[in-house]
Homo-oligomer: A and B are copies of this chain.
Amino acid sequence: MTAYAEKLLSQESELRALREAIQVRLDELLPAGGERDMVRAAMREGALAPGKRIRPLLLILAARDLGCETPHQGLLDLACAIEMIHAASLILDDIPCMDDALLRRGRPTIHRQFGENVAILAAVALLSHAFGVVAAAEGLSSQCRNQAVAELSGAVGLQGLVQGQFLDLNEGSNARSPEAIATANDLKTSVLFGATLQMAAIAAEAPLTVRQKLRCFAEDLGQAFQLLDDLADCQSGTGKDLNKDHGKSTLVAMLGAEAVHQRLHEHLRNADEHFAYACRDGVATRQFMHAWFNQQLASFR
């Protein structure tokens, strides 16, 4: 085996171990309840169902690249909190009065499994649990935990997920400029990536200049991610409803798939540069990002 292949294999096995650790910790943070404990079951299904775990992986890899010690429990907890917020946002995006989706991660959406009211309560409980998990994260100073809570709060609200979902609901079916679409994508995706990277920087006690660069990284990464999601919407085998974006003004509908591919690569190049600038020593985050996008894009062919 070549040295390169060996390196790839070792990365792959490290990612598997990290994914497993995230899954185990999520399971601990969201213990199963009794048979009638429907909200708890819906929370578990929302957060524990097989997923890509991009955000928690990014958080841990970036924190390490930035010099954080081998993942302590606190870092894992921040990672799980980000995944809970993400899971809550997916549950809410899917409910009948939002996107009314049938499938998510290859399974019936949470409201179809548990009813709409339980789905909403589970999302609210996941959100508030995430804040509690951050506030209690071991091995982090109180000041760090407060900063992390503030980052999460900003990412969910009117400058983040909530506003992104509203713009998408409200203006998605109207003709929008590429800039307006980019703004909505930024709120829907980049802002939570932003909080993910800021929490990594907080855990690693990175200086302000680094944190600023990581915001730029998250912005480009989020844009690339959203473009990938739009491209995937035309593909089968994603585990989600197909053509949910039909009638919505997306960049794919406006510019065509080829131009979107180009934009995506441009965002990835920018993201790579930003991260390299923020962190000269670590390469795990950048390798992870490239490997993941390459894999996803290859599956479209």
On A, residues with C-beta under 8 Å from B are 33, 36, 38-40, 43, 92, 95, 97-98, 115-118, 120-125, 127-129, 131-132, 134-136, 141-143, 145-147, 149-150, 152-154, 156-158, 162-163, 165-166, 169-170
Nearest CB of chain B from residue A125's CB, rounded to whole Å = 4
Which B residues lie within 8 Å of A152 (CB)? 128, 131
Which B residues lie within 8 Å of A125 (CB)? 156-158, 162
Which B residues lie within 8 Å of A169 (CB)? 117
Nearest CB of chain B from residue A128's CB, rounded to whole Å = 4
Of the candidates A39, A115, A135, A141, the one having the most CB atoms from chain B within 10 angstroms of its own CB is A135
Nearest CB of chain B from residue A74's CB, rounded to whole Å = 13
Which B residues lie within 8 Å of A143 (CB)? 142
Q: How far is the CA of A134 from the CA of B38 in the complex (A)?
A: 30
Residue of B nearest to A161 (CB): B124
A146 touches B154 (CB 8 A): no
B129 touches A157 (CB 8 A): yes
